[in-house]
Structure 1
Amino acid sequence: MSRLPIPGREEQSQVRVAARALARAGLVHAYGHCSLRLDEEHFLVCAAQPMGLIQPGEPGIVVPVKGELPDGVLGEVRIHQQIYRRRPDVHAVIRSMPAQVMTLSCARLTPQPRHGMGSYFQQPIPLWDDPQLLRSDDQASALANQLGQGNALVMRGNGAIVVGASLIEALTLTWYLEDAARIELQLHSAGLAALGPVLDAQACARRAVTRGRIYERMWEYLTAGDPEASAPAN
């Protein structure tokens, strides 16, 4: 059995800061979790408690990409395992509970790319059409397969999964997903959904830029005031 890596102070801090940012933004409540890849075989997941209550200095738990979940790790963290196994490009996973995303999902709807922030997601955003908790490897494996090479998946009545090349990217995309859901829901509420244009793949590719510290500025916005926050590198 290989020795578990010891996460650095910066890695532990970044996971805590992201967790509290998700809570402050209303993207999680009592439930949700986030993780950061450490190497090919391990990742660091936040402490198993409401994310807004995670205290400065409170360590996350190292989890193997393959194998049993360690004691004290939430059952749905096996979703992270299955995604990391399939996606070497993924270095962060966020399991969130955004309110607008949740409302749409109960009607089996996912946001469409109608504005700039919606352009960052593959279309259609897949819907995991089962409101039950994922507590088995088979379920988590099927969900990871449905996510495929995308960066977001909506779970009917049960929140969302967002992945990124960094926690900065994953946190930003989680906020973008909820904003896209807000637009989608408001258009449906006003009876305007059929009239509102949807960006095509070419328009999305042009709009979904990352230059100009796009993700970094959102990270700074969402983590402002956190006792452990520091500006990300360019």
Structure 2
Amino acid sequence: MAEPTAEQQAIVQQAARGLGRAGLVHAFGHVSLRLDAGSFLVCAARPLELVGDLPGTVCPVDGQLPEGVLGEVRIHQRIYARRAEIGAVCRIMPPALMALSTQGVVPRPRHGIGAYFDRLPLWPDPRLLRDDAAADALVEMLGDAPAIVMRGNGAVVAAETMPKATTLAWFLEDAARVERDVRAMGFAPESGLLDAGETAARQVWAGQVAERMWDWLTR
């Protein structure tokens, strides 16, 4: 398997700490970075805000997870194996999204940031995914979407780069916050949605969208 560079270790550590400070994880959650076609680097098995400069562990895309790596990291494995374009994965526990998911609700495109999630599947099983069959089924449901919500159990976000993956993680929780607030104000769930054209027009990454969000999250 590939040997991670100091820069790759630092990117994973920065992402972990940034997601922790942003409140997108608590004691549980993990992030990883693809190293090459056959291996990826997952953060240390610690609460992400406390990762500090602890090195991550290199894992195979196909094969047994190394000793000490959390069982749900097999989700990362299956995503990297299925989607060659994916370069980073975030397993997060954002509070607004979590609350909505317990009712079988996922955010819908209502504002610019929420427009990135016009395809957002809901995994219905609240149990931890610690076997290969369940991980395979979850990734099959994810398909080519940017994220999947897990009922009462957070979400998984995947993207081409770590800045883009962490940006989508923050965007997903912001979309959930807006969804929660709109419903709490008593508006009909079908009102105020972006139409297909508006949604597509806002799904852009020009203007350093991910780079600016990365700088803010890892400040």
Tell me if the contact between 2:27 and 2:48 (Cα under 8 Å) persists in the aligned partners.
yes
Q: Do residues 11 (structure 1) and 14 (structure 2) align?
A: no
C-alpha separation in 2, matches of 1:32 and 1:203: 33
In the alignment, structure 1 segments of 5+ residues that lack a partner are 225-234
TM value normalised by structure 1: 0.92
Correspondences of 1:34-45 after superposition (within 5 Å): 34-45=31-42
**Partner of residue 115 from structure 2, selected from 108, 112, 119:** 119
**Partner of residue 135 from structure 1, selected from 111, 120, 130:** 130
Structure 2 match to 1:23: 20
Structure 2 match to 1:77: 73
In the alignment, structure 2 segments of 5+ residues that lack a partner are none
Structure 1 match to 2:182: 187
**In 2 relative to 1, CA 23–193 (structure 1 residues): closer, same or farther, beyond 3 Å?**
farther
Return the letter of the residue paired with 1:45.
V
Identity %: 53
Structure 2 match to 1:169: 164
Return the letter of the residue paired with 2:83.
R
C-alpha separation in 2, matches of 1:207 and 1:133: 34
Q: Do residues 59 (structure 1) and 88 (structure 2) align?
A: no
C-alpha separation in 1, matches of 2:188 and 2:64: 45
| 4+ runs deviating over 4 angstroms | none
Per-residue deviation, residues 67-115 of structure 1 (Å, max 9, x unmatched) = 0010010000000001111100111000000000000000000000000
RMSD across aligned positions (CA): 0.9
C-alpha separation in 2, matches of 1:150 and 1:78: 18
C-alpha separation in 2, matches of 1:194 and 1:71: 46
Correspondences of 1:80-229 after superposition (within 5 Å): 80-123=76-119, 125-194=120-189, 196-224=191-219
Per-residue deviation, residues 6-41 of structure 1 (Å, max 9, x unmatched) = 100110000000000000000000000000000000
C-alpha separation in 1, matches of 2:33 and 2:154: 19
Tell me if the contact between 1:5 and 1:42 (Cα under 8 Å) persists in the aligned partners.
yes
